[in-house]
Amino acid sequence: MGDTTSSKIYEKTMYLKHLNHPRYGSTDFSRIMETYLVGGAVRDALLGQPVTERDWLVSGATPAQLTALGYRQVGKDFPIFLHPETQEEYALPRSQRNNINSGAVGIEEDLVRRDLTINALAQGADGKIIDPCNGQDDLKNRILRHTPFFAEDPIRTLRLARFAARYHALGFRIAAETQQLVAQMVSGGELDNLVPERVWAEIAKALTEDSAHIFIQTLRELELLATVLPEVDRLFGIPQKKEYHPEVDSGLHTLLTLQQACRLSRDPQVRFAALVHDLGKGNTPAAILPGHHGHEARGAKLIKPLCKRLRIPNAWRDLAVPTARYHLLCHRAFELRPKTLLKMVLGLDAVRHPQRFEQFLLVCKADVRGRTGMEESSYPQADFLRAIYQAIVGVDGAKISQSATRPQQIPVHLQRERLQAISRVQQAWAEQAAKSP
């Protein structure tokens, strides 16, 4: 680890050791306090990755002593303490889940209770690494391995899949014994009662990773997907028409679409909408397979209870639902009548939420590219629909309201003007296409 990081650790340790202002009390806690950088910051520094967050562990202290030093306690079962100046998170060692101790617990005793060996690392002010689970060896060998207490919190199985996505490009793999442990946890029903908010927190974090599709793929390989996202799991094994989808499998298409969404945008809402855009294919009647007539409406209907079950924010739902409903119309934009184009734009509530329209177009582009051999396909529909959108919002609704003799006429006249504006755009694009060689 670099000199800068070690210096910062030293400075923070000195802060704890010398902050003995009268307003914090006269007891000198500093003689027994030690501060350690822990977890992800140590791991990522050893990997040569950017360190974005720093968490700290303080030994030889009690909650009362930390609050006396000006730290603000957050939480009760396993509280953290916010530094009075930097607001970085500090914690006390623990020997049991959700149990905070008096300071008698050693650093190593705390570290072994963490999720993965590569996260069970700490660095003291002297720069030395404390590594009770041989996490440094696993970092070198690119292995994701569980600690002895991994199974005490089933949500760690999702975290394991998230780390598989995060470090996919670095060649990390899950240890065979860790895969076996997860299988035992699944078969034992330990994931049947996960707290929805915690599940969503892991999914949302995974969707920020560049290889978010690996998260979904890993959940499926670990047989977790059917428990966490059964609507997505049902897509695997469902065939599509090969002439449109060379990859055939609906689940594989979903992974490819999510992969393309990650290439096109860092917006996790776009990525979520890509993940769930084809849920309706999971319950297509067997008699019409490999066709999927009506899957758009079926998918939109499935997204709503999914979002309710996992407590997904409304903004994510409000993009995902109309995207599922209208993505095929977007692909067919050049064929649509003005009335259908207007219905799609209004159905997205794009006049009030222009950013949502751009998000929608990104998902649709990812959908087209999320097919084997079509990863670099152009998508002229996006620019065409942007022109349509500008034509719609360019209609002066206030002017129409002022000129209408009766209130009932306003929506009729507004729609008529918008349809005429759309027709003009269609005509201009058709003329331009006719001139092209």
Task: Among 26-30, 66-70, 257-261, name the one with the lowest average pLDDT.
Answer: 26-30
The CATH homologous superfamily to which domain 1-138 belongs is Beta Polymerase, domain 2 (3.30.460.10)
Q: What percent of the chain has pLDDT above 70? A: 90
Q: Is the confidence at residue 7, as pLDDT, over 70?
A: no
Beginning with the edge strand found earlier in the chain, give each strand of the sheet holding 72-74 in spatial order.
72-74, 80-82, 89-91, 55-59, 34-38, 122-123, 129-130
Q: Is the confidence at residue 321, as pLDDT, over 90?
A: yes
pLDDT of residue 96: 60
pLDDT tens across 149-200, in order? 999 999 999 999 999 999 999 999 999 999 999 999 999 999 999 999 999 9
Are residues 238 and 251 in contact, defined by beta-carbon separation less than 8 angstroms? Answer: yes
pLDDT tens across 123-135, in order? 998 899 999 999 9
Q: How far apart are CA 431 and CA 292, in angstroms?
A: 34
Are residues 155 and 202 in contact, defined by beta-carbon separation less than 8 angstroms? Answer: yes
pLDDT tens across 76-123, in order? 767 888 888 888 888 888 766 545 544 456 889 889 999 999 999 999
What are the domain boundaries of the chain?
Answer: 1-138, 394-435
pLDDT tens across 370-382, in order? 999 999 999 999 9
Residues 6+ apart with CB under 8 A from 24: 68, 69, 70
pLDDT of residue 1: 44
Of 71, 102, 66, the closest CA to residue 87 belongs to 71
Q: What is the mean pLDDT of the chain?
A: 89
Ranked by mean pLDDT, which of 96-110, 318-332, 406-420 comes out on top?
318-332
Q: 435: how many CB neighbours lie within 10 A of its CB? A: 6
Q: Is the confidence at residue 27, as pLDDT, over 50?
A: no
pTM: 0.88
- Determine the average pLDDT of the residues in 332-359: 96
Of 334, 326, 346, 349, the closest CA to residue 380 belongs to 334
